[in-house]
Amino acid sequence: MKIMFNKPTIAPTPRRNRAARVHLDGLCAGYPGRKVLHQLTADIPELANVALVGPNGSGKSTLLGVVAGVIRPTSGEVRHHGDRRPAFVPQRGALGDTLPLTVRQTVEMGRWGGLGSWRRPARRDRAAVEAALDRLGIGDLAGRQLGELSGGQRQRTLVAQGLAQESDLLLLDEPTTGLDPDARGRIGSLLTELAGEGVTVVQATHDLEAARAADVCLLLREGHLVGQGPPDEVLTESALARVWQPA
Ligand SMILES: Nc1ncnc2c1ncn2[C@@H]1O[C@H](COP(=O)(O)OP(=O)(O)OP(=O)(O)O)[C@@H](O)[C@H]1O
């Protein structure tokens, strides 16, 4: 698929009829000596904006890592209905503030996966980087060092790196955490637009406003899936109280 910039909007399919871009079947995963995810069975519908919601430590980042292919399931399955490599935008803290990289170089790293060891960036790679910088409104910061940026600017740089990959599956770990309401709104709108342009978006978030704006929520508690579906069905007051009540 050609993705993603300046494409005509795809006519929306009713949420409940969307095919799965990713299917999780009895998924268990964790780290050496620590089980985190327990028997998750869920669909991530294609072309939807999906929010992973749950308290600290409930397994949202681990689930993103499994879907991204950087954490192996210990049992169960992750089936991708699509052959493109997912684009994974980690938490902002995962990016060293002291790395001697400019904003442009950081976004260019999003193209590395598609380059052979001998291949130099082609016009298409450069165009994808420019489009991503543009879309996140950080073209004027392109020459700045990461360490000189505000948290929100660094966050936008990371999202631009994910966008530059031109994947049909964009995975983001807390893309709006720590941002002011304006910056949160801009990233939220962008993620909604992307879902209309052929991208399946999955974000782990503590931002209930962002989760309520998603098409589908997966609600996690202690590594168990305790709800999946449209936000108004999943993020009910009683479900949230149950999930956030102290054990
Ligand atoms: N690299 C790791 N090695 C061992 N345990 C880990 C590792 N990363 C996370 N964990 C543990 O796995 C569990 C789930 O963590 P995870 O980061 O997936 O949760 P989360 O829902 O994303 O949390 P948060 O909202 O705080 O980001 C936690 O108990 C955490 O301590």
Distance from the first to the final alpha carbon of the chain: 46
State yes or no: pLDDT of 8 exceeds 80: no
Q: Which atom of ligand 1 sits closest to the CA of residue 54? A: 21
| Ligand 1 centroid from CA 241, angstroms | 21
**In the structure encoding, which two tokens stand for residue 110, read together?**
């999003």
Q: How far is CA 208 from CA 47, 53, 128, 229, in A?
A: 21, 8, 31, 15
Share of the chain above pLDDT 70, in %: 87
Mean pLDDT to the nearest integer, 34-63:
96
State yes or no: pLDDT of 7 exceeds 80: no
Residue in 37, 38, 61, 226 to alter for ligand 1 test, most ligand atoms within 8 A of Cβ: 61
- Say how far apart CA 212 and CA 208 lie, in whole Å: 6
Q: Domains, the chain, ranges and CATH?
A: 22-86+169-247 (3.40.50.300), 89-166 (no CATH)
The secondary element (H helix, E strand) that includes residue 210 is helix 208-212
Contact criterion met (CB below 8 Å) for 89 and 159: yes
What pLDDT score was predicted for residue 22? Answer: 97
What pLDDT score was predicted for residue 152? Answer: 85
**In the structure encoding, which two tokens stand for residue 9, read together?**
């909007």
Mean pLDDT to the nearest integer, 194-200:
92
The secondary element (H helix, E strand) that includes residue 105 is helix 103-108
ipTM attached to this prediction: 0.98
Handedness of CA 199, 30, 58, 152 (dihedral sign): negative
Smallest CA separation from ligand 1 atom 29, residue = 57
Share of the chain above pLDDT 90, in %: 67
DSSP β-bridge partners for residue 15: none
